[in-house]
Structure 1
Amino acid sequence: MEKISQAFRNLIQLQSFLDRTFSFREILFWLVSISCLFPIIPAPLALLFGLLFANFIGFPLANNKQRTTDYLLQFAIVGLGFGIKADEAIAVGKQGFQLTLASIFITLILGWILGKYFKLDKKIAFLISAGTAICGGSAIAAVSPAIKANKSQVSVALGTVFILNSLALFVFPVVGHALALSPTQFGTWCAIAIHDTSSVVGAASQFGEQALATATTVKLARALWIIPVTLIASMIFGKGPRKTKIPYFIGLFLLAIVANTYFPFVEKYRVQFTQIAHAAMTLALFYIGCGLSKKTLFAGGIRTFGQAATLWIIISSTTLWVVTYYF
């Protein structure tokens, strides 16, 4: 009887949904969302469409947007693991370890110095530095509870980092082609110098599968540094050790690599898996763009943007020089 009642309620909800009148904005949103699932929409264009929705059309589905975006990103990253072999991942991880370690600590120290120079709030300066050093919004979200940053401070840091993160998606491939970087060089540069994993994958995918595999592997190895950096942050700001969320999808990414390497059945469908992952990542970038309204992007002001931009330019140019001459 209970099952019949539940089925009846579901039928009523479906009828209400079908009877609803959709606005032109919603129809356009769903058309673009579906288009992002096909190769006709590259990653940078998906982000641009999202920015247009956020600032000129309006995002019609505000509820649960962040959760949906997070799930899409995690699903895409795990899917990309099916396109990488274990020996490739190990080789790339060893090659990029020293550069990753050096860049994280240099970025954090330089960010602290620049924060003082631009006279920023200490917590905002640290959040931007952590986002630049590790993995953008994910690092900011992980570090903020450890230093007890308030919602305003987190929003300012996220908005500022997302501006540069979005810019990198367009600029990096142009620079990489202009300097004739190899796929390994470009993938390593993206993984170290671009903030968020989504833009790292979006930029590297424009340089071929080898660049994408390198970028994804180095970036996710870099993301594991969220844990020690969060612990250090909690001690620096006098809050004591706090619980840190471990990004579980990295473990699933590693399992996907193992499956692709040692299970012939999985390897047989690697192309299909990676195509689905690319589609999910492109759609996630569209949703990310939809959240970047003018209010979000420019909440920090010129001094905050000055610190973040200066830090990013120094790290990007230095990393580019290193990968050009030593990789």
Structure 2
Amino acid sequence: MNWISKTIPGLAIVLAIAAASAWLGSSFPIVGGAVFGIVIGMLINNTLGKPPWTQEGTKFASKKVLQWAIILLGAGLSLTQVLETGLDSLSVMIFTLSAAFISAYTLGKLMGVPIKLTSLIGMGTAICGGSAIAAISPIIEADEMEVAYSISTIFLFNVIAVLIFPPLGHLLDFSDQAFGLWAGTAVNDTSSVVAAGYAFSNAAGDYATIVKLTRTTMIIPIAFIFAAVIAINKKRQAQSDKSVNYSFKKIFPWFIVWFLTASLMNTLGILPDDAIHTLKVVGKFMIVVALSAIGLSADFKKMMHTGIKPLLLGFLVWFTVAAVSIVVQFATGQI
């Protein structure tokens, strides 16, 4: 009961911010509720300040609610649809995913960007923006500042992509499928992929959405890879330093297993359409709740201290992915 009384006040504040952010996100879908949540949370925390009694509720929302949200979003994934319609994009996707992580870690090391921030920016650019960042942040034990900075960076280039991709696609004389594949592999957040795709044409928008759906499923294997790497490192630390507590059970991302379970239930037709729609809506709102809490815990001073290098890294990784997508399509005769 004591934990509940400590958690509810902070959670109520977070829910209020999330409700306002979700409404703003529905009015400005290119921005999205999650970004509004982070921005409003950061503005409140860095101007008015966050009262001490909100600490437990904010922590609960940024950790537990975040993981539950990822699970519910899994219910919106049909693995059959991904298999049937995503194979055409698989070759391009493998190259763009590889390019994102290789460029992120290579450039991040050269630029001196912290490894956790590099991982979040690489994951967000490679997979699907905020959702992918949210999925691995608990695995790599990233703090609120790192999550807020990486999502803000990804968001900036999402907006730029929505504005410049469609005219560039017409200038380069892309077909609907070529542009859909480009947008689906090189634009990060789902809403931005949809916006860019349909700004080019309806057919391009349809195909970009399918490609993005396929790309989203990559959260599953890559999250497990991150978990395995973290587990190996923790085990090595525990062997050399007895004060380090190693528990594979605690490190393992069980919420990703449930994400996969929810996807399989959708794929097998166990979940009715109404339930899938409801779970997706609730899941998206819970993402806004979690990111509002992260914004409410983010410190501008720490972000400024980190400097502009992560922002530059985000640009370079995004540019690399966009270029590789075009080059691979050209090399395979899709353009």
TM-score normalised over the length of structure 2: 0.63
Provide the identity percentage. Answer: 12
1:117 is matched with which residue?
110
Partner of 1:53: 40
How far apart are 1:53 and its partner, in Å?
1.8
State the structure with more CA Rg.
1
SS of residue in 2 equivalent to 1:105: helix
Aligned 8 A contact 2:69 2:287 in 1: yes
- AA aligned opposite 2:41: A
CA-to-aligned-CA distance 1:212-241 (integer Å, 9 cap, x gap): 343123221354133235545766899499
Q: Which residue of 2 aligns with 1:227?
A: 224
Inter-partner Cα distance in structure 2 for 1:184 and 1:296: 43
Match for 2:334: what amino acid? Y
Residue 96 of structure 1, aligned match among 89, 97, 110: 89
Instruction: State the aligned residue count.
Output: 285
Counterpart of 1:274 in structure 2: which amino acid? H
Deviation at 1:256, TM superposition (A): 0.4
* AA partner of residue 161 (structure 2): F
State the SS of the aligned residue for 1:64.
helix
Task: Give the C-alpha shift of residue 250 in structure 1.
Answer: 2.5
Conserved 8 A contact 2:58-2:293:
no
- What's the TM-score once normalised by structure 1's chain length? 0.64
Residue number among 242, 258, 261 corresponding to 2:268 in the alignment: 258
Q: Which runs of 5+ in 1 are unaligned?
A: 1-5, 7-12, 146-150
The residue correspondences of 1:13-24 to structure 2 (distance < 5 A) are: none
Candidates 133, 150, 169, aligned match of 1:161: 150
Q: By how many angstroms is 1:33 displaced?
A: 5.8
The superposition leaves residues 261-282 of structure 1 with CA deviations (integer Å, 9 ceiling, x where unpaired) of xx7x93xx46x74376246425
**Structure 1: how far apart are the matches of 2:22 and 2:97?**
37
Q: Secondary structure at the match of 1:42?
A: coil
The separation in 1 between residues aligned to 2:179 and 2:278, in whole angstroms, is 21
Structure 2: distance between partners of 1:185 and 1:209: 12
Q: Establish whether residue 75 from structure 1 lines up as the match of residue 72 from structure 2.
A: yes
User: CA RMSD for the aligned pairs?
Assistant: 4.5
Paired residues for 1:1-327 under 5 Å: 29=17, 32=20, 35=23, 40=27, 42=29, 44-58=31-45, 62-66=58-62, 67-78=64-75, 80-81=76-77, 84=78, 86=80, 88-121=81-114, 125=118, 128-129=121-122, 132-134=125-127, 135-142=132-139, 144=140, 157-178=146-167, 179=169, 188-189=181-182, 192-193=185-186, 200-206=189-195, 207=198, 211-228=208-225, 230-231=227-228, 239=236, 244-245=252-253, 247-248=256-257, 249-259=259-269, 266=272, 269=273, 273-274=276-277, 277-278=280-281, 280-281=283-284, 284-285=287-288, 287-289=290-292, 291-292=294-295, 293=298, 294-295=300-301, 297-298=303-304, 300-320=306-326, 322=328, 326=334
CA distances 1:80-137 after superposition (whole Å, capped 9, x unpaired): 23xx582x32133322333333333333332333134313455654564455445334
Q: Aligned AA for 1:175?
A: I
- Which consecutive residues of structure 2, in runs of 5 or more, have no partner in the other structure? 199-204, 238-245
Q: Give how far 1:185 is off.
A: 5.3
Cα 1:45–1:97, aligned 2, differ >3 Å: closer, same or farther?
closer
For 2:210 and 2:69, the matched residues in 1 are separated by 19
